[in-house]
Amino acid sequence: MSELGGGAPQKSPTVTLNSGAAIPQLGLGVWQATDSETEGAVAYALGEAGYRHIDTAAAYGNEAGVGRGLATSGVPREDIFLTTKLWNSDQGYQRAFDAFDVSLDKLGVDYVDLYLIHWPLQDRDRLLRTWEALEEIVASGRAKSIGVCNFEPHHLEFLADRGSILPAINQVELHPHLPQHQIRSAAAGLGVAVQSWSPLGGTANAGWGQDSKPNTLLTDPAIAAIAGRHGKSPAQVLIRWHLQNGLIVIPKSAHPERIAQNIDVFDFDLTDVDLAEIGTLDDGARVGLHPDEMNLGAPE
């Protein structure tokens, strides 16, 4: 922590969302970190490593750990961009308000910077009622921006047609194996920013009872060769690929040395040749489920 007690200075540039809010382009993800790991990771990321953006979700089971990490970091609340997400079982108008209150309580804050619908699910009417609740939450000032996750272009077009407020962000699985060109193009057309989850290719635990899928990007020979040319690590190369593609990126690590390494990416640029080589890794391989097939936890 700095001598002033305000944490290390912010290292990431910001991106302005369609809500007018500025989000640090690089943040810390905490999916699959335990509650106590999360507390340490968040306190370190904010206090020592220069992060100002933390991304959690009700479903991660670590919002309380995020809250404790925020509190011990010494960084003022207003300097932090904090995101959480509404889980599938909480979709619905009243359920969304109730779930939001529970999240604020666990996080120990009176507002979040961004509140996201975690998955679209199959029930369009319920999705729209959920979005109406989020529109009221953002109007009340208790979320500064609202958005969605895992939306295919058809989901985005549905909300753009039927909602009153456009999502500020669509957070989707995105990495060189799954660069999501169609989603990026649909989002760009609407003015919705795209945020990458599992940006390093994910963990071996795919979650949701799926078979494990070992990370293949962090050991990919092409990524390793580019990393060698720049004197950087494969993770740093992957993070720069997201940044140079204009994506908002939230690599997860529970280890201080990796948390620090993952934000030490503002002193080099990938060349056009590097970017083209990484572009050849697109094989459509996913870590998670396809959003059109994901209905886990949907209310009856």
Least gap, CB of 287 to ligand A2P (angstroms): 7
Read off the amino acid at residue 37: E
Least gap, CB of 66 to ligand A2P (angstroms): 15
Identified catalytic residue from 60, 93, 111, 115: 60
Nearer to ligand A2P by Cβ, of 165 and 294: the residue is 294
Q: What whole-number distance in Å separates Cα of residue 212 and Cα of residue 207?
A: 8
Least gap, CB of 259 to ligand A2P (angstroms): 8
Q: What whole-number distance in Å separates Cα of residue 197 and Cα of residue 209?
A: 19
Least gap, CB of 115 to ligand A2P (angstroms): 21
Nearer to ligand A2P by Cβ, of 254 and 296: the residue is 254
Question: Under the phi-then-psi rule, with left for phi > 0, alpha for psi from -120 to 50, and beta for the rest, what region is 37?
Answer: alpha
DSSP code at position 285: -
Q: What crossing angle do the helices spanning 256-263 and 234-244 adopt, rounded to 10°? A: 40
By three-state DSSP, how is residue 112 classified? strand
Nearer to ligand A2P by Cβ, of 24 and 201: the residue is 201
Distance linking the first and last C-alpha atoms of the chain:
47
The verdict on whether 60 is a catalytic residue reads yes
Q: Which residues of the shown chain bind ligand A2P in the complex (CB under 6 A)?
A: 29, 198-203, 218, 233, 235, 251-255, 258, 261-262
3-class SS string, 39-107: HHHHHHHHHHHCCCEEECCHHHCCHHHHHHHHHHHCCCHHHCEEEEEECHHHCCHHHHHHHHHHHHHHH
Nearer to ligand A2P by Cβ, of 122 and 219: the residue is 219
Q: Which residues belong to the active site?
A: 60
